[in-house]
Copies of this chain bind each other. A is one copy, B any other.
Amino acid sequence: MDNFNFYSPTYFAFGKDREQDAGALVKRFGGSKVLIHYGGGSVVRSGLLDRVKASLNAESIPYVELGGVKPNPRSGLVYQGIELCKREGVDFVLAVGGGSTIDSSKAIAAGVVYDGDFWDFYCGKYIDKALPVGTILTITAAGSEGSPDSVITNENGMYKRGATGDAIRPKFSILNPALTQTLPPYQTACGITDIMAHLYERYLTNTKEVEVTDRLTEALLLTMIHEGPRVIENPDNYEARANIMWAGMMAHNNAVGVGRSQDWTSHDIEHELSALYDCAHGAGLAVTLPANFTYVMHHDVMRFAKVAVRVWGCQMDFDHPEVTAKAGIEALRRFFISIGMPKYFAELGAKEEDIPKLVNSLCRGNGRPGCLTGFTTLNEEDCATKPGFQMRRPNIWKRFFWNIQTLRSATR
């Protein structure tokens, strides 16, 4: 196990009707004037926004509002939010929504107390200062309610990048599973996929002797496999929603990922897709994960066999572990399809002629050194000499996307 620091000071208020505590929690964590940041539509229609305002009013806490956050949240609205907060003297940002709203709120909170352009944080600058952020979660997916991360799409070029810093960890997060019951099955499935991606990307490690975090990660995957289909079948299932909600937070606050190398290449690949095609992040991951895993499996067959046996209940083929490893990846792919997720890049709107642009932005965009690192190094070069690779793979990125294309045409 590697040395690490772990710091997750968010106060979680979990359960039915907990949004009524919003005002008291803002007060507890030092807010005296609030920006309520949200998307729109359902938050307003469901009456949630009114309940949140009533809770702030009950504590005599003034507020301003900024709605309009879209999935794959945009830099433009962040600039608006920063300006609004400065003008109005806001000292607390309250996100009411899903991961996009929370990420947008975090960006605003960091930008308000920073003299430069907030985008600096999304080019690698660590966020060490921000207004306090609170969240009222309505979509279980991104894990942003308990994480120090934020992902924003820059409208100047349409590319997505992440920023991080303990300063943007929410002071509190209100997790009421009932608020997620109105989510349509497709969005619910996207959330389930995102959570499972956060777990798999922690699971794919090169660090040895990490039994505790392996087991914890497997536990959360098993939970998702059990509870996921239950909410797809019955969106009103409060109990299944509740289990998924806590699993989603635990999957991404890093308690189950400490002390080990991780692999975020699938997320990086997906970010290019959702930035360019504005597809749902979870849907992009459902296609990317199994494709990527099939590609990198030979780097550590036993690790893929382990998750296949422990999580998917595959029988271990002791003579041919790669058979078990592949069966686990296939089980993951089938699971995503079973909950309504796409199988092919084309279903996301991706086009073959965009491959050079995607690969270039992925491997060379925003100061990247021409490759992605994680479980293994992915670049545009021949990587035949790398340990763990058992065959020559010329121009692996092109080949990766080509594989997908082939798979698509072959099975249509």
> Which residue of chain B is the closest to A217 with respect to CB atoms?
B219
> Which residue of chain B is the closest to A18 with respect to CB atoms?
B3
How near does chain B come to A326, taking the closest CB pair, in angstroms?
Answer: 25
Interface centre among A2, A9, A13, A215 (most CB of B within 10 A): A215
- Which residues of A in the span 244-275 have a Cβ within 8 Å of any Cβ on B? 244, 246-247, 250, 255, 258-259
Interface centre among A3, A219, A222, A250 (most CB of B within 10 A): A219
Give the segment of A68-76, A204-212, A314-322 that binds chain B: A204-212
Report B-chain residues with C-beta under 8 Å of the C-beta of A208.
Answer: 239
A226, B3: Cα distance in complex, Å: 21
A227 within 8 A of B: yes
A7 within 8 A of B: yes
Query: Are B246 and A212 in contact, with the CB atoms below 8 A?
Result: yes
Query: Are A14 and B9 in contact, with the CB atoms below 8 A?
Result: no
> Which residue of chain B is the closest to A241 with respect to CB atoms?
B1
A126 within 8 A of B: no
A4, B176: Cα distance in complex, Å: 10
Query: Are B3 and A210 in contact, with the CB atoms below 8 A?
Result: no
A255, B209: Cα distance in complex, Å: 23
9 pairs across A/B with beta carbons < 8 Å?
A: A5-B12, A5-B13, A7-B10, A8-B9, A14-B259, A211-B227, A212-B250, A215-B223, A216-B250
How near does chain B come to A163, taking the closest CB pair, in angstroms?
Answer: 21
Add 12 more A-B contacts to A3-B16, A212-B246 (CB < 8 A).
Answer: A1-B243, A2-B15, A3-B15, A3-B18, A4-B15, A6-B12, A7-B10, A208-B239, A209-B242, A216-B220, A219-B219, A246-B259
> Which residue of chain B is the closest to A3 with respect to CB atoms?
B15
Query: Are A3 and B12 in contact, with the CB atoms below 8 A?
Result: no
Query: Are B215 and A222 in contact, with the CB atoms below 8 A?
Result: yes
A55 within 8 A of B: no
Report B-chain residues with C-beta under 8 Å of the C-beta of A216.
Answer: 216, 219-220, 250
Query: Are B7 and A12 in contact, with the CB atoms below 8 A?
Result: yes
> Which residue of chain B is the closest to A13 with respect to CB atoms?
B5
A9, B216: Cα distance in complex, Å: 20
Query: Are B219 and A215 in contact, with the CB atoms below 8 A?
Result: yes
Query: Are B8 and A8 in contact, with the CB atoms below 8 A?
Result: yes
Report B-chain residues with C-beta under 8 Å of the C-beta of A12.
Answer: 4-7
Query: Are A246 and B258 in contact, with the CB atoms below 8 A?
Result: yes
Report B-chain residues with C-beta under 8 Å of the C-beta of A6.
Answer: 11-12, 14
Interface centre among A8, A210, A212, A213 (most CB of B within 10 A): A212
8 nearest A-B pairs in the assembled complex, by CB-CB distance: A3-B15, A9-B9, A209-B239, A219-B219, A215-B219, A1-B242, A6-B12, A212-B243
Query: Are B259 and A255 in contact, with the CB atoms below 8 A?
Result: no
A218 within 8 A of B: yes
> Which residue of chain B is the closest to A11 with respect to CB atoms?
B7
Report B-chain residues with C-beta under 8 Å of the C-beta of A219.
Answer: 212, 215-216, 218-219
A377, B259: Cα distance in complex, Å: 41
A226 is contacted by which of B1, B5, B211, B227 (Cβ under 8 Å)?
B211
Interface centre among A3, A218, A223 (most CB of B within 10 A): A3
How near does chain B come to A56, taking the closest CB pair, in angstroms?
Answer: 20
A215, B244: Cα distance in complex, Å: 12
Query: Are B247 and A212 in contact, with the CB atoms below 8 A?
Result: yes
